[in-house]
A and B are shown apart, each in its own frame.
Chain A
């Protein structure tokens, strides 16, 4: 146990753990490039990015919710519902109007979640589980459980077609969303306050920040991005289906967490989420190219996720990295809580 501990406290290992997201990203990208011959070609790259874009946009919204220390399980249902609105309302509102309506649906779903979590004070896991079930049923109710198709299949193609021989519109939306998120979280007052609320709500409130507004806003934003993702997915396929996005919430959460965002809130970044999404994309592309069945992909993805949360735990216990919130708060009374002490001994 002691030798193991020494290994984990050596500077080299600590540095690797500290930059774990980058290390994993480089490793998977390296593996992908060496296994998939055409990946460095622009077209292949563009295609695999296009396929990840929808998930990526959802992950952008989830990053904000997770930064607040909350969860949103309803994003998949929101995605499906806004897709149905986007296709189903085309006759009444025209394709553009319907797309806007799709986004509005997403925002409304976010408002619903905000109401449940902030106003009614329901735990976010249960609240968004309820809205997930509710919104999914609404999808089935509206469509009679059958996928609906739009009138103009060409309209939607612009979303997934490569623009001027570069990336698809979807990909650009994702990349721009990451960029905007990066600017928002890093450079704006609202972004910095968001970290403050997620990291130490008590201190934030004591400094005059209205924490509940930020919490509510995070859910609305997550609804907005899920809505936008739903619009893109339904336009690209010219279909609104009640079955869309069934695995989206859990996959997107996995991507965000692989990107280094802490579920307890306060730590995470836009670039991390980009990294997390790219890791998942690289794994999918590589394993598909090698015709490895999906279930092996699941094993790899799950293992990477598990590895990263384990490393995160070790990192937050080691002296060189940031102190965990818990040990910080408990100072002044005593220097470590009993639970954390046990931790040191147990984590190899």
Chain B
């Protein structure tokens, strides 16, 4: 492969993209050269994914142009982008589990003659691709039988087989072990030496430094810097990523903190998180920080009984409890506002009233018989307390905006009057007004003595709201920081594994 090492393959110029209420990208320029690994870093929500979705043909840009090898492109669909040589490797796997590795690799264009699959050619292609990537997968194995990291290799091989000019890796290592990630880097190295331009998105800064030639830093939908990786250090990168003035002011109420309510010791779920010990006191808001995939949600799910835990103890109000199911958790006074609102939070085809009362039907029923008036009063009151707008409790939840749906989920759990409340990304995808409402509610709850654990990928939010911050990295606690000690840099370095708590 002899190619001009400095030739620009991809040029994105002046890309602007606005979603209702949010300016996701503002005048972004990006240039990627042949045979380089170009990393894009930034906080969650900085605009990395939107930029890549524009490149992949998922979203059209509002303004700006995409040029590949000097030719201007207009992608109307992901399929078209792929045909023009843009390959995407996402963190989620989208393969056909009931077909073989070889078939998945060539799925779009199975080699054939007269309608029959040319197996020889199929396996030759797969073997060649897998060999060029330096992996040792059996092309005839069913994909459904492979481990996740192996499936990801198939996903990469599939992209590679379509002979792309540019390949985008979007958080490829978030579900891989360190060993598996190393294997992935060798694959990326091979692709680069074969003249493919690589765009690499990751939260793991070490990785970025190890693998990339240049780094582009995005913040709030703008390019902050684009420079050579050489000489860059993790603290410097963190500074580039987070150094900003806060647009939103997060109000913090001062609340008297009481006795410990929830004490977790050595909580472990094998292969997911390990030896998690934390304490939450009455009236205290504890932040659980970490990168996507660090195990925050998994810890929360285990505390609420949605997943099993293999070891460790949970003490509530000084007595040990064993959480087996959401039912036992609710009985113990724990409530959990899930991360995936549409999946675990609301039943869209039911009304606001029916959603709010679902976990606490017994409170508004006598001998299994619903007391309509009581239910109406209770849910109406909760809906108003939580500023559900409009407070029309008979309307289907599906007809409300994301922020108001989130308030319905909050209302639902506050109705059970929990003593421990776990909030998982409570303000994600929520507009500014609703966000402020939700913060006010959280403050009020803490004031009333509820012990709160809050998970958020937005660092400023965690820092503004929390009294204490626990930081997770790859399933382990790496830091416990007091409000005074917690700032963006200290949390970020613990979250990227740069600093380990003593």
Contacts and interface: CB of A to CB of B under 8 A. Distances in A.
In-complex A–B contact (CB below 8 Å): yes
Contact of A334 (B78, B97, B297): B297
Interface residues of B, number: 36
A90 B212 CA distance: 77
Given A187-B117, A207-B107, A341-B307, A331 B175 contact: yes
Nearest to B325: A342
A206 B79 contact: yes
A199 B99 contact: yes
B115 interface: yes
A321 B145 CA distance: 7
Contact of B115 (A188, A196, A198): A188
A321 B144 CA distance: 8
B501 interface: no
Interface string A37-74: 00000000000000000000000000000000000000
A99 to B, nearest CB: 27
Interface string A236-273: 00000000000000000000000000000011000000
Kindly name the residue among A208, A209, A266 whose own CB sees the greatest number of chain B CB atoms within 10 A: A208
A263 B272 CA distance: 32
Contacts of B119: 187
B145 A188 contact: no
Contact of B145 (A195, A198, A267, A322): A322
A205 B108 CA distance: 9
B97 A325 contact: yes
B78 to A, nearest CB: 7
B148 A331 contact: yes
A313 interface: no
A338 B78 CA distance: 32
| Residue of A200, A202, A206 most packed against chain B (CB within 10 A) | A200
B436 interface: no
Contacts of A187: 116-117, 119
Interface in B82-115: 91-99, 103, 107-108, 110, 112, 115
B99 A195 contact: yes
Contacts of B315: none
A266 B97 CA distance: 8
B93 A328 contact: yes
Contacts of B98: 195, 198-199, 266-267, 322
A322 B97 contact: yes
Contacts of B108: 207-209
B275 interface: no
B94 A338 contact: no
B306 interface: yes
A18 to B, nearest CB: 11
B301 interface: yes
Given A188-B117, A199-B99, A207-B108, A331 B93 contact: yes
Interface in A202-238: 202-204, 206-209
B237 interface: no
Contact of A192 (B93, B103, B144): B103
B92 A332 contact: yes
B301 A189 contact: no
Given A199-B97, A200-B94, A334 B298 contact: yes
B97 A200 contact: yes
A331 B272 CA distance: 13
A15 to B, nearest CB: 15
A335 interface: yes
A341 B298 CA distance: 14
Contacts of B107: 193, 196, 203-204, 207, 209
Contact of A323 (B97, B175, B301): B97
A26 interface: no
A201 to B, nearest CB: 9
A13 interface: no
Contacts of B132: none
B148 A341 contact: no
Nearest to B145: A322
A203 B145 CA distance: 17
Contact of A332 (B79, B93, B117, B142): B93
A339 B406 CA distance: 23
A190 interface: yes
A144 interface: no
A323 to B, nearest CB: 5
Contacts of B222: none
A332 B175 contact: yes
Interface string A163-207: 000000000000000000000000111101101101110111011
9 closest Cβ pairs, A-B complex: A322-B144, A199-B98, A207-B108, A266-B98, A207-B107, A332-B92, A196-B96, A203-B94, A208-B108
8 contacts: A190-B115, A192-B110, A193-B107, A206-B79, A208-B79, A325-B144, A332-B93, A336-B307
Interface of B: 78-79, 91-99, 103, 107-108, 110, 112, 115-117, 119, 142, 144-145, 148, 151, 174-175, 271-272, 297-298, 301, 306-308, 340
Given A199-B97, A332-B93, 6 more contacts: A187-B116, A192-B110, A199-B99, A323-B144, A328-B93, A328-B144
Interface of A: 187-190, 192-193, 195-196, 198-200, 202-204, 206-209, 266-267, 321-323, 325, 328-329, 331-336, 338, 341
